[in-house]
């Protein structure tokens, strides 16, 4: 990183060819700005907004080469616009990536001394803050599993080979028919849904990762077109679905990432019809640090004891609650897990399977007894 006058340039190399690097960077930028409450319309002439207020605009957009934004001056005093540029140059089979922010001292022209103080007080600490192990660990956890995004995550969730044993285990405990309406919470790339839809059931997948929502729609494109499946962006604690719409609900490998598992289970119960079935796959602390939950994920995912998970389900309003510690090996064999990896699935390997029902009559609910 090199600073010249008030310009900031960040330059590095990537193994990705420019077309791929461009697509990935624009997607990450859009996603990151979205999380910061900024809408970035990534196209020529697109506007950058916070709520209804424009804060910038796209002045150049050349896929594979460049994006330039004009960042608007402060809405007071003598402040001047700044320029943010992202440029790509081919280098061998990869690319040279250049980010620059220029003219940003002009944003402070009303009080020129403020710029160096603002860089020291706001810019450098926020960069360093994002570089703390805690923050980088959070970022990796999000990107890989908690809110998957990026090329590698899309590849993994398009074909989650090591999740198939869980999918088969769940379907073994949840026979589906064409009469079922299935809800999956934290559906990732939609591969479980694809298998479940073979029963002829109708389904809804919910996930809070925009990249997983689009991947799940891609994975199940014909079911989406046929109206057999909808995939919705949404939070587990505030499911974007009607009350009592589903005959069954599944969540696999996701509940440990939900900020409030009780709230999520309560939402699942709300979404189920009376008598509706619940199947949730989760992990016990025995999974911590194994290839299924290595660091930095291991310290950021919640593991459950069987009794604790059962108690949460009862609190959420479920009845006929059972938690099993299934032997995963037969499912791993059935899923075609290679011989050398079967050891990871011997015994329960820290797997928990929660099975429950929504009461048929409200008077059967645990809290009304």
Ligand X SMILES: C[S@@+](CC[C@H](N)C(=O)[O-])C[C@H]1O[C@@H](n2cnc3c(N)ncnc32)[C@H](O)[C@@H]1O
Residues of this chain that interact with ligand X (CB under 6 A) are 145-148, 157, 160, 163, 186-188, 192, 207-209, 212, 235-236, 252-254, 257-258
Q: Retrieve residue 222's tokens.
A: 């014909």
Mention every residue, 6+ apart, whose C-beta is less than 8 A from residue 350. Answer: 283, 284, 285, 286, 287, 288, 290, 292, 303
Tokens of 41: 């319309």
CB closer to ligand X out of 108 and 192: 192
For residue 1, give the nearest of 99, 122, 118, 136 by alpha carbon: 99
The answer for 37, left when phi > 0, alpha when psi is -120 to 50, beta otherwise, is: left
- 316 Cβ contact partners less than 8 Å away, ≥ 6 residues apart: 262, 265, 266, 268, 269
- Residue number, 137 or 160, with CB nearest to ligand X: 160
**Smallest separation, CB 276 to ligand X (Å):** 19
Of residues 186 and 317, the one with the C-beta less far from ligand X: 186
**Which pair of tokens denotes residue 91?**
């280098």
Q: Scanning the structure block, which residue is given the tokens 């075609």?
A: 336
CB of 186 to ligand X, least distance (A): 3
* For ligand X, the closer CB: 282 or 323: 282
- Distance CA(312)–CA(291), nearest Å, equals 27
Q: Which CB sits closer to ligand X, 188 or 349? A: 188
Q: Of 225, 302, 292, whose CA–CA distance to 262 is shortest?
A: 302
Nearest CB to ligand X, comparing residues 82 and 229: 229
Angle in degrees, CA 224, 225, 230, rounded to 5: 25
Query: What are the tokens at 115?
Result: 């710029």
Helix (H) or strand (E) holding 210: helix 210-219
Choose between 21 and 187: whose C-beta lies nearer to ligand X. 187
> Is 239 in contact with 267 (CB distance < 8 Å)?
yes
What is the smallest separation between the CB atom of 344 and ligand X, expressed in angstroms? 15
Distance of closest approach, residue 314 Cβ to ligand X, in angstroms: 22
Distance in Å, CB of 201 to ligand X, minimum: 17
The CB-of-335 to ligand X minimum distance in angstroms stands at: 12
CB of 199 to ligand X, least distance (A): 18
CB of 204 to ligand X, least distance (A): 13
Chain Cα centroid distance, residue 41: 21
Distance CA 94, CA 210 (A): 27
Residue number with the smallest Cβ distance to ligand X: 188
CA distance 168 to 328: 10
Number of residues that make up the chain: 369
Please say which residue, 101 or 293, places its beta carbon nearer to ligand X. Answer: 293
């Amino acid at each position: 990183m090199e600073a010249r006058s008030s310009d900031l340039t960040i330059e590095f190399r990537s193994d990705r060819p420019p077309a791929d690097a461009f697509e990935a960077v624009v997607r990450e930028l859009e996603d990151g700005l979205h999380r910061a409450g900024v809408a970035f319309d990534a196209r020529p002439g697109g506007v950058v907004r916070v709520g209804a207020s424009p804060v910038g605009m796209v002045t150049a957009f050349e896929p594979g080469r460049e994006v330039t934004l004009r960042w608007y001056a402060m809405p007071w005093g003598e402040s001047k616009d700044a320029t943010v540029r992202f440029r790509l140059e081919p280098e061998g089979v990869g690319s040279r990536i250049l980010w620059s922010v220029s003219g940003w001292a002009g944003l402070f022209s009303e009080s020129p001394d403020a710029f160096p103080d603002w860089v020291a007080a706001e810019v450098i600490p926020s960069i360093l803050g994002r570089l703390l192990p805690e923050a980088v660990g959070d970022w990796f956890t999000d990107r890989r599993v908690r809110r998957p995004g990026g090329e590698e995550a899309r590849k993994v969730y398009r074909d989650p080979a090591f999740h198939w044993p869980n999918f088969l285990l769940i379907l073994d405990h949840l026979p589906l028919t064409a009469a079922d309406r299935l809800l999956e919470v934290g559906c990732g790339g939609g591969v479980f849904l694809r298998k479940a839809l073979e029963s002829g059931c109708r389904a809804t997948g919910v996930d809070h990762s925009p990249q997983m929502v689009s991947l799940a729609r891609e994975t199940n494109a014909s079911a989406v077109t046929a109206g057999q499946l909808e995939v919705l962006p949404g939070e587990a604690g505030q499911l974007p679905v009607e009350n009592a719409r589903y005959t069954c609900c599944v969540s696999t490998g996701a509940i440990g990432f939900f900020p409030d598992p009780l709230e999520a289970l309560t939402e699942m119960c709300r979404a189920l019809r009376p008598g509706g079935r619940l199947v949730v796959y989760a992990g016990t602390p025995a999974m911590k640090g194994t290839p299924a939950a290595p660091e930095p994920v291991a310290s950021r995912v919640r593991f459950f004891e069987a009794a604790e998970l059962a108690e949460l389900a009862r609190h959420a309003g479920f009845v006929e609650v059972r938690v099993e510690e299934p032997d995963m090996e037969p499912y791993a064999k059935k899923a075609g897990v290679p011989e050398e990896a079967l050891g990871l699935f011997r015994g329960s390997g820290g797997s928990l399977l929660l099975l429950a029902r929504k009461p048929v009559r409200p008077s059967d609910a645990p809290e009304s007894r």
